[in-house]
Amino acid sequence: MLGLAAASPPPSRWRLRTLRASVDTLVDYSLSGVWRLLQRCDVRRRPLRDPLYSPDPEYIAQVAHLERCLRETVRWPAEVVRLFLDAMGYYRWPELAADWQLAAPGATVRPLHKAGPTNRQQRLIGALNALTGRLDYLDNYLVGRQQVSAFYQHLEQVYMSARRIYVVQDNWSIHHHDDVLATLRQLPQLLGPVWRPTDAPWLNPIEKLWHWLRRDVLKAHRLADDWPQLRQQVNGFLDQFAHGSSASAALLHYVGLIGDGHLAYVLHSA
């Protein structure tokens, strides 16, 4: 039976050397011997758990409020709408990614000269319906206070039959701008926003949609020289979730609103 040496303080992360120094019966083992013993005991190096931690002092209260709003949406789906809102940006030049190929080509560097395309950016702001999976979004080269205000007005028109619309969003400074807050006051249905705790992306499922978009469309794309076609592909990917279709059901699974996740549990148990 292996046991820790009495004088050994517990390390924050185990290495072969710390294991050998901390376990009495391993003192005379070589490092490779320690490794082979761990293999025979079916002990492997595994990634540590993601640090799901938010430094927000109001984290517990904000999560409780978010859960109450979700349950209200489930109980009165014809009257209450719950939307997860977020913004993202993408560039003309592709994001780096690994891919299958016959042989590794030599490194290539795109020439930086005036005749070549600049690495321009495009911005998106979107809102995901927590129950139907419907996605509404605005595609623009800039998303500032005017675009955010216009997007709120768009959401009010889309869900004009709802009595109450909750919008979950982060603490981006634009959301606190006087012009944006004035727009919200003119839209009484938009009771919110529901502030998401700081540094807690796991509470905003639309961020997983952005991940899906980056993975399937933007990483290693070959359209740097065809900006309109790249934008068309991005919009085509997002448009498949526009009307609560079967694709939207798949989206709800992907982002964790259906399944075994925390938010899915809150919805299911409402």
For 161, the enclosing helix (H) or strand (E) is none
Helix 206-213 × helix 246-255 angle, to 10°: 110
> How much is the pLDDT for 1?
38
- pLDDT tens over the chain, length 270 residues: 344 445 545 666 778 888 888 888 888 999 999 988 988 888 877 665 555 678 889 999 999 999 999 999 999 999 999 999 999 999 998 887 776 666 655 544 454 444 456 788 899 999 999 999 999 999 988 889 999 999 999 999 999 999 999 999 988 889 889 999 899 888 887 766 788 888 888 899 999 999 999 999 999 888 988 999 999 999 999 999 987 667 888 899 999 999 888 899 999 887
> How much is the pLDDT for 190?
74
Model pLDDT for residues 132-152, shown as the tens digit of each residue: 999 999 998 888 999 999 999
Domains of the chain, earliest start first: 9-48 (no CATH), 59-96+118-268 (3.30.420.10)
- Nearest by Cα to 145 from 100, 169, 180: 180
User: For residue 153, with 0-12 CB atoms within 10 Å meaning exposed, 13-18 middle and 19 or more buried, which class applies?
Assistant: middle
* Tokens coding 268: 């299911």
User: For residue 149, with 0-12 CB atoms within 10 Å meaning exposed, 13-18 middle and 19 or more buried, which class applies?
Assistant: buried
> How much is the pLDDT for 179?
92
Query: Looking at the whole model, is its pTM more than 0.85?
Result: no
Distance CA 217, CA 220 (A): 8
For 173, the enclosing helix (H) or strand (E) is none
Beta bridge partners of 91: 121
> How much is the pLDDT for 107?
47
